[in-house]
């Protein structure tokens, strides 16, 4: 029985190192920010019924098959944004030094020809430059295909300028629904740091 004590002790110490040593070495934590699409702010300003477009819902800038018009939502139903077409904006606060690793969109896409897009945007805060300077899209996720009543997720893990620096940038989400047959449900931003 004595000859098994030393090998068993080495196995126990080795297992403890693998289980606990690796986790302690990284020190990174994951944080997810979640936003309900029905709580985002529609950008229409009731401009005589014509509405105001967001950056990615404007003609020439949209990825939608047809030009986007403003069609206010019919309402909110248990957290779903019902029959909305147009653009919405929402500010987000990213933790300084954190690394954005994923932008995720949840939606019910009921039409293979019509999609919903979400953009994670950052705008550099500086003086003495043209107003359009410092604008960049960090990530884009969008729906595809069609499934009538099932919520699906759509991810983008390719993040441009992934390290958050709120001392130099403002961050926000832009949601563009290309038509009323898509129901955006929510958006998540995942970060480590």
Count other C-beta atoms under 10 Å from residue 119's C-beta: 23
CA-nearest of 185, 171, 17, 40 to 95 is: 171
- Contact criterion met (CB below 8 Å) for 138 and 120: yes
d(CA 5, CA 3): 6
Phi-psi region of 65 (alpha: psi -120 to 50; beta: other; left: phi over 0): alpha
In the numeric block, which tokens belong to residue 139? 């990530």
The CATH number of domain 28-192, selected from 3.30.300.100, 1.10.3720.10, 2.60.120.260, 3.40.50.300:
2.60.120.260
CA-nearest of 141, 140, 138 to 161 is: 138
Q: What is the pLDDT along the chain (193 residues), one digit of tens a residue?
A: 455 444 444 334 343 333 333 333 467 799 999 999 888 876 655 554 455 677 887 766 778 876 677 777 777 777 777 778 888 889 999 999 999 999 999 999 999 999 999 999 999 999 998 888 889 999 999 999 988 889 999 999 999 999 999 999 999 999 998 888 899 999 999 999 9
Report pTM. Answer: 0.80
- Contact criterion met (CB below 8 Å) for 172 and 88: no
Q: What beta strand segments (E) does 110-161 contain?
A: 116-124, 135-142, 152-156
Map tokens 């960090």 to a residue. Answer: 138
Strand partners, 177: 86, 116
Q: What pLDDT digit, counting tens, does each position of 51-100 carry?
A: 567 788 776 677 887 667 777 777 777 777 777 888 888 999 999 999 99
Count other C-beta atoms under 10 Å from residue 156's C-beta: 17
């Amino acid at each position: 029985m004595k000859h098994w004590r030393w090998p068993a002790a080495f196995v126990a110490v080795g297992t403890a190192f693998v289980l606990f040593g690796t986790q302690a070495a990284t020190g990174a934590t994951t944080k997810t920010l979640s936003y309900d699409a029905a709580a985002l702010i529609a950008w229409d300003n009731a401009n005589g019924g014509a509405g105001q477009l967001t950056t990615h819902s404007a003609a020439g800038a949209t990825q939608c098959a047809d030009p986007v018009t403003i069609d206010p939502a019919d309402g909110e139903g248990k957290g779903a944004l019902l029959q909305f077409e147009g653009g919405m904006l929402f500010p987000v606060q990213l933790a300084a030094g954190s690394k954005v690793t994923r932008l995720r969109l949840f939606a019910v896409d009921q039409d293979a020809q019509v999609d919903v897009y979400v953009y994670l945007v950052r705008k550099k805060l500086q003086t003495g430059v043209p107003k359009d300077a410092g604008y960049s899209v960090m990530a884009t996720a969008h729906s595809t295909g069609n499934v009538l009543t099932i919520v699906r997720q759509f991810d983008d893990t390719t993040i441009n300028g992934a390290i958050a620096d709120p001392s130099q940038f403002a961050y926000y989400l832009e949601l563009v629904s290309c038509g009323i047959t898509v129901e955006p449900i929510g958006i998540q931003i995942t970060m480590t740091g």
